Amino acid sequence: MSDRTQAILDWFSGAPLRVIVIFVIALFSHFIGNRAIDRTVAKLASADLKPGPGVVARQAERARTIGTVLTSILTAFIWVIAVGMIAAEFGFDLGPVIASAGILGVAIGLGSQTLVKDFLSGIFMLAEDQYGVGDTVKVGDIEGSVEKVGLRITTVRDSNGTLWYLRNGEILVVGNKSKK
């Protein structure tokens, strides 16, 4: 083997190979994690945990919503770690970044209080099963059918056909005409 070929092989077996391995492991972890979440959500969506008419459909919608949230969290977690490991392979010092992330986290946390409030309200709304897709609800002056329930926003279509986007943190009182 020539010196040039040996030098290229030595170079490739260093950082580039480790970057490829990190990327492949991240892809594999992402695939396996999403598959596990999808299977768990499918089992929860099809199980009849609480007997009663119409409960299974609502339970399925709640399971899918929670599955979407878990998938997003898993994806962000895996790829943030992978990007950090890849940056470290290229000699980027992560110490100052991690230290400033704490300060930045506090600043963002203070600035995004309404976003956190919306998400927490959405989590409690789903956990308490206050309303679901297809329910007829009255929120303030808005009355209509719930089309989508998310952690941050609930969409309601009124009788005129207007689609309303309601932030969950701003919903203080809700009337559910579909629940008995």
Give the tens place of pLDDT for each residue, 79-134.
999 998 888 888 888 888 777 777 777 777 777 788 888 888 888 887 787 888 88
DSSP one-letter code for 170: G
Is the CB of residue 158 less than 8 Å from the CB of residue 88? no
54 falls in which pLDDT band (50, 70, 90)?
low
**What pLDDT is attached to residue 143?**
93
- Express as a percent the part of the chain with pLDDT over 70: 90
49 falls in which pLDDT band (50, 70, 90)?
low
Measured distance CA(109)–CA(132) in Å, rounded: 29
CATH number of 112-180: 2.30.30.60
- What is the number of H-type helices and E-type strands within the chain? 5, 5
Give the mean pLDDT of 39-59.
72
pLDDT at 36 over 80: yes
Vertex 69 angle, CA 66 and 70, to 5°: 85
Measured distance CA(167)–CA(164) in Å, rounded: 10
**What pLDDT is attached to residue 51?**
61
47 falls in which pLDDT band (50, 70, 90)?
confident
**What pLDDT is attached to residue 157?**
94
pLDDT at 35 over 80: yes
Vertex 17 angle, CA 14 and 21, to 5°: 135
Cβ contacts of residue 172 below 8 Å, gap of 6+?
A: none
- Provide the terminal-to-terminal Cα distance of the chain, rounded to the nearest Å: 80
The two tokens of residue 171 are 């919903």
**What pLDDT is attached to residue 160?**
92
56 falls in which pLDDT band (50, 70, 90)?
low
Measured distance CA(145)–CA(155) in Å, rounded: 9
pTM of the model: 0.58
**What pLDDT is attached to residue 25?**
95
